[in-house]
Amino acid sequence: MATRYIPIFLKHSPTPKVQNFALLSGMEATVRGTLISAMPLAVYDALGSAEATSAAYFAAGLVSLIWGLFVPWGTRFIPRRWMYSLGCGLYLLGMALAMLGQSWSLALALMTLAMATATTFVCLNAYILDYIDRQSLGRSQSLQMVFAAGPWAIGPLLGVWLRSIWAPLPFIVAGSFAVALLTVFWILRLGNGKQIARAKGPAANPLAYLGRFFAQPRLIAGWLFAVVRSCGWWVYVVYLPIFCVEAGLGDKVGGMALSLSNTMLFASPFILKLVRGASVRAGVRLAFALCAVAFFSAALLSPLPWLAVLACMAASVFLVTLDVVGGLPFLMAVKPSERTEMSAVYSSFRDVSGILTPGAAWLVLLIAPLPGIFVAAGAALAGCWVIAGRLHPRLGIMRPSRGRADSPIN
């Protein structure tokens, strides 16, 4: 009888809201934003060349891809809340390895941090697909961008500045942010999502659901958009700072450029409203086209380094646009029964881009100088512009007669 007097919020976890997931995205952005400019420079200094840096990132991408695909399988044995906590723990382990400052420890740190990102990303997207309806996915995406805007705007410049004071300092600060992320996660009490019953049958092969993914062209197209968009960011984050160093602009210009570009995230709700008013297809195609043009321009302007940096910054504006709406074709096509599995598939775009970008960069550097990487990025983005032409022309626009959004692919 005494339980009747217990407040309802103590007996039941509150239903998670869009703002809760945006807060977690913002907190994780403080971790990754602090490292995003400092880490490539640390690896470049330790390994001594752009080619060796590409090889390290390539290996990290392979490890993270395999790890990320096994996360849903792991959640059959480890509750999702503990899997998310494991991701935060991997962040801390990666910081500790990076602080050692050795070439081998930085290579291991890259792998560990990539695994941490994959783990938290899979779990967060599974939570979102559990609790956010399809019509609110766009708002959820844009709000996550807004909450992450400050950390992404300040973090890159902060990380480079901290590194100039003391090499391990960015990793110490980022590690404290990882502890704060874990604390906020447990305060929000997200639990294990809606599908928390223990499976009655044997655990499925972690690769079995890839067959269902490849059988759905609209999922493949949405995933491909995410991969190429992420490749564009890899070029901007890793190879633009290296270009600046090799062009004599110094090691801080890349971080400053990334910080300035990330202020565009504050405009995410406006971008979403503008793009969805004209249809997601039109917005996605325009962003891919203009981003490709900007990267091509950066390559042509490479003899004038400052103009090349400005062209890359212009490309980043359209990468932000793709961050806001580029994931909607995939997320709107996911079946409710496949939330966790397809979240893992979707999250693999980070790892696949982390393999493709340094792998392609290594090949390009065999036959061309570093600006050739900008050309390769522009070509990939132009290819997505072509594929995006097959998206449904009214994707994301509500049909008054049916009360739902149109299908992603014709």
* 120-134, 185-199, 216-230, 348-362: the lowest-pLDDT one: 185-199
Using the predicted structure, report yes or no on whether residue 293 has a pLDDT greater than 90: yes
> What does the block give as tokens for 134?
């399809």
Q: What is the CATH code of the structural domain delimited by 16-193+211-401? A: 1.20.1250.20
Query: What's the average model confidence in pLDDT over 22-29?
Result: 90
Using the predicted structure, report yes or no on whether residue 122 has a pLDDT greater than 90: no
> Residues 330, 310: contact at Cβ < 8 Å?
no
Q: What is the DSSP letter of 96?
A: H
- For residue 306, name the pLDDT band (cuts at 50, 70, 90): very high
CA angle (162, 165, 170) in 5-degree steps:
30
- For residue 395, name the pLDDT band (cuts at 50, 70, 90): low
Query: What's the average model confidence in pLDDT over 237-261?
Result: 85
How far is it, in rounded angstroms, from Cα 58 to Cα 52? 10
In the beta sheet, which residues pair with residue 406? 395
User: Comparing C-alpha atoms, which of 147, 136, 194 is closest to residue 332?
Assistant: 136
How far is it, in rounded angstroms, from Cα 394 to Cα 396? 6
By CB atoms closer than 10 A (0-12, 13-18, 19+), residue 361 is buried
How far is it, in rounded angstroms, from Cα 327 to Cα 323? 7
What are the residues whose beta carbons fall under 8 Å from the beta carbon of 29, sequence distance 6 or more?
A: 147, 148, 151, 152, 155
> Residues 126, 339: contact at Cβ < 8 Å?
yes
Q: What is the CA radius of gyration of the chain?
A: 21
> Residues 275, 325: contact at Cβ < 8 Å?
yes
Say how far residue 195 (Cα) sits from the centre of its chain: 25
Query: What's the average model confidence in pLDDT over 395-400?
Result: 51
Residue 97, pLDDT score: 95
> Residues 46, 109: contact at Cβ < 8 Å?
no
How far is it, in rounded angstroms, from Cα 255 to Cα 229? 19
What string of DSSP letters covers 344-358? HHHHHHHHHHHHHHH
Distances in Å between the alpha carbon of 170 and those of 63, 143, 174, 326, 377?
A: 24, 27, 6, 31, 29
Residue 13, pLDDT score: 52
Residue 302, pLDDT score: 93
User: Comparing C-alpha atoms, which of 228, 223, 198 is closest to residue 212?
Assistant: 223
Query: What's the average model confidence in pLDDT over 232-248?
Result: 89
What are the residues whose beta carbons fall under 8 Å from the beta carbon of 207, sequence distance 6 or more?
A: 69
- 128-143 pLDDT, tens digit per residue, is 877 777 666 667 777 8
Query: What's the average model confidence in pLDDT over 153-168?
Result: 89
Q: What is the DSSP letter of 399?
A: E
How far is it, in rounded angstroms, from Cα 282 to Cα 302? 30
Is the whole model's pTM more than 0.75, yes or no? no
